[in-house]
Chains A and B, each alone.
Chain A
Amino acid sequence: MAPAAPPTSALSLRNVVALSGRFPLLAGVDLEVAVGETVLVEGPNGAGKTSLLRVAAGLVPVASGRLAVLGLDPERYRTTVRRRVGLLAHASHLYDDLTVRENIRFAVRAAGADTGRIDGACERLGLVGRLLRTPAAKLSAGQRRRVALAVLVARAPELWLLDEPHAGLDAAARRLLNELIAEANAAGATVVVASHEPELVADLATRSITVVGGRVTAERSTGDGRPAGDTAVRSTGDGDGDGGPDTVALRAAPVPRPDGGIAHVA
């Protein structure tokens, strides 16, 4: 059984390296996410945003470094951690032959969550009437995303990991998604969102990190008015010990030095 004390840290990575074969998905990530935060993960394609979320969800094993999800080691307390974490991935994990309602029921019951919230979640996401009885194979991509979201809402996990959730959704659905994120936040859940379009989530997120080349290369706290351009830093985790992001404002852009270091030229 897992220890019962409520966690203060939702996600804690220290120099985590994760591999897919020989390829390092994550090449040494340091990250601290406190409970209740909403964190935005940005970065170019192939940077490791999806891998970061998958590692946090426990799908990809950690090759080296330390990982704690909700204060627990996801490899020792596998079942416990997975039931308290919800991942919204590119794939929707639906069974083609089952109806929407059956899929949601199965996913919610599998996670050991209360089935009473299912109806409410379905209504919230506009999954009503005939749609509920449609086999998953016949859904459009946007509808599948809604179903996966409904599962997430019904399960109400403590940690939400959303991988480019706005992709494929129409404007109304995007607004709804933002509302759901805000509600989850208000309910005390921690939300980590990876997105190519940060402006969609910018006002919801308390913090934004940038992942490049399998590492966290920049962090800034949003919502205090600083524009993104000139506050790039190299993140080394919770260096100033205040539990929040380490932001050190530098006035100039970083320039790589020939021996591999990076010089900030004033």
Chain B
Amino acid sequence: MWRDTVLVAGKDLRIEIRSRVALSQVVPFGVVALALFAFALGPDRAPMAKAAPGLFWVAVLFTTVLAVQRSVSVESSDGARDGLRLSGLDPAGQFLGKLLSVAAQLLALEAVLAVGVVLLFGTRIEAWWLIVASCLLGTLGLAAAGVLYGALSAGLRVKETILPFLLLPVVTPVLLAGTRIWQAALAGGTPSYGSPWFHLLIAFDAVYLALGVVVYGPIQESA
């Protein structure tokens, strides 16, 4: 399974390096979303600073939908989805491989957006470790749920429109937890690793990782 994970992740990332779609479209979309929020909240810095954590995570969520759609559409060239099934790759490995690839793109995005938040909203980030931990855990969960739902909607003609509708409500816990942790971080909070929000993120990640490893194969076969 791990060998297949590396193989699929490598393949996806190599395609990404070649086509540079994440770099030229996915990440900029996140930045644009953040900028739109800034315009909407008006020139006054105070409400923007207060809303910054939530807006960051909302932008990440929207961009996740895009990243997942891209990941799914890579396989639609020339019947590659059939090719993956025929290849005898371990489905759990395929799931993890795609997850790694999506997660990598999301982490790159989050780094850019974090900088954007500091610049655009004028927030000051104090407790870096909280920020980093929440981003890592949150991204893992987003990628896991995203790849799963991507597989679920892959064979559908309406996949572009149904994916956001299915995925976004499900990743609400990540939004809530991420926002709360960021708020704590911006308020100079102490690293309370016993925080319930971290528990939530870990639970979310564990559940969707386990689910993905188990059901990704059957989902592929039934599409």
Contact = CB atoms under 8 A, between A and B. Distances in A.
Contact of B79 (A91, A97, A98, A107): A91
Nearest to B10: A106
Residues of B contacting A: mostly: helix
B85 A82 contact: yes
Residue with the highest number of chain B CB atoms closer than 10 Å, among A92, A102, A106:
A106
B interface residue count range (under 10 / 10 to 19 / 20 to 34 / 35 or more): 20 to 34
B19 interface: yes
A164 to B, nearest CB: 15
Contact of A110 (B15, B18, B77, B88): B88
Interface in B209-223: 217, 221
A107 B78 contact: no
A interface residue count range (under 10 / 10 to 19 / 20 to 34 / 35 or more): 20 to 34
B87 A94 contact: no
A138 B89 CA distance: 27
Given A61-B221, A91-B82, A106-B7, A97 B19 contact: yes
A135 B14 CA distance: 12
Given A95-B77, A98-B11, A79 B90 contact: yes
Nearest to B19: A97
B74 interface: yes
Interface in A67-101: 78-80, 82-83, 85, 87, 89, 91-98
Contact of B88 (A82, A93, A144): A82
Contacts of A102: 14
B87 A82 contact: yes
Contacts of A144: 78
B18 A93 contact: no
A172 B77 CA distance: 28
Nearest to B80: A93
A262 B143 CA distance: 59
B82 A112 contact: no
Contact of A95 (B4, B15, B88): B15
23 contacts: A57-B86, A59-B85, A59-B86, A61-B221, A78-B217, A79-B88, A82-B85, A83-B87, A91-B79, A93-B80, A93-B82, A93-B83, A95-B11, A95-B77, A96-B77, A96-B78, A97-B15, A97-B18, A102-B14, A109-B7, A110-B88, A111-B87, A136-B78
